[in-house]
Amino acid sequence: MKSGASPAPAFKGYRKAERVTVISIIIPTLDEERSLPPLLDAIHQQRAAHEVIVVDGGSQDRTLEIARDRDVRTLVAHPGRGAGISIGAEASRGDVLFFLHADSTLPPGALDRIEEVLSTDASIIGGNFRLVFDGGTDFSRWLTGFCAWIRLLGLYYGDSGIFVRRSVYEALGGFRPIPLMEDWDFVRRLERFGRTCCIKDPPLVTSSRRFERRHPLGIVYGWVRIHTLFWLGVSPDRLVEIYRTQAPPAQTRTPRV
């Protein structure tokens, strides 16, 4: 698949701000029995009207059982975060879609902030949260700063909690069911379509687990390599094969760059 898709038409905005009625939280999962319970607990504490959809890509642990025990709607998809997000969005009913990784820490009031941003400013079509990596290492702190810098350029990833108005999501054609770079691909189209917002307070905290047992220089080299190849039009399927040669075995089932 050629990564350089033609630009989407610019979003003209609403005549007046529309009140957000329901936020659909879509969580793609794969073997997340440890991360999912605290995330679902945090979502349960949110005040804004919402629904939760867990889309599983073939877990071999208790992920689906945990979600069902908590009366969360569950769906099953082919492996790959892009496929899960696409299916979850199609099945959702909210007028705002919020894509959340299972290893994220959702702070109190996060949904209220999404509702506030979209209800008070009609020109904003979506956005994300300021991203903070846990772990307390020099590299995790560097990554937090790096992600803040590239956000100024309109670049961000799914682990920062992407949210979007449903009308815009549908106009863009949604997330593409690709196995890697699905968030980068969607964000590029979203940023071309209209004005977005980065919610700085509260921030979204995400796990640094994918960087365990990996040297910082190797991580940066792999990031640059994957992005360069994607820009050059290398297919996401091929990129997954390349990713698996540079990531520890425990991380190859859920490729993330």
Overall average pLDDT of the 12-24 stretch: 71
Length of the chain: 257
Three-state secondary structure call for residue 229:
helix
User: Which DSSP string corresponds to 132-184?
Assistant: EE-S--HHHHHHHHHHHHHHTTT---GGG-EEEEHHHHHHHT-----SSSHHH
In the chain, % of residues over pLDDT 70: 88
Calpha distance 160→98 (Å, rounded):
11
Kindly report the pTM of this predicted structure.
0.88
- Phi, psi dihedral angles at 57 (to 5 degrees): -105, 25
CA distances from 10 to 155, 192, 205 (A): 18, 7, 31
Q: Which two tokens stand for residue 223?
A: 């990031």
CA distance 58 to 146: 32
The pLDDT score that the predictor gives to residue 2 is 37
pLDDT in tens, 170-216: 999 999 999 999 999 999 999 999 999 999 999 999 998 777 767 88
**pLDDT recorded at residue 223:** 86
What pLDDT is attached to residue 95?
96
Range of weakest confidence among 30-39, 121-130, 133-142, 149-158: 133-142
Q: Which residue has the higher pLDDT, 249 or 184?
A: 184
Whether residue 84 is predicted with pLDDT greater than 50 in this model: the reply is yes
pLDDT of residue 13: 47
> Which pLDDT band, with edges at 50, 70 and 90, does 220 fall under?
confident
Cβ atoms of 122 and 15 within 8 Å: the answer is yes
Neighbours of 200 (CB within 10 A): 11
Work out the angle between the directed axes of helices 236-246 and 216-231 (0-180°, nearest 10): 170
If you average pLDDT over every residue of the chain, what do you get? 89
Cα atoms found within 13 Å of the Cα of residue 9, Cβ hemisphere only = 6
Statement: residue 125 has pLDDT above 90: yes
**What pLDDT, on the 0 to 100 scale, is given for residue 26?**
98
Mean pLDDT lowest for which of 5-14, 109-118, 220-229? 5-14
Least confident of 155-159, 165-169, 213-217, 245-249: 245-249
**Of the candidates 80, 86, 84, 47, the residue with the CA atom closest to the CA atom of residue 67:** 84
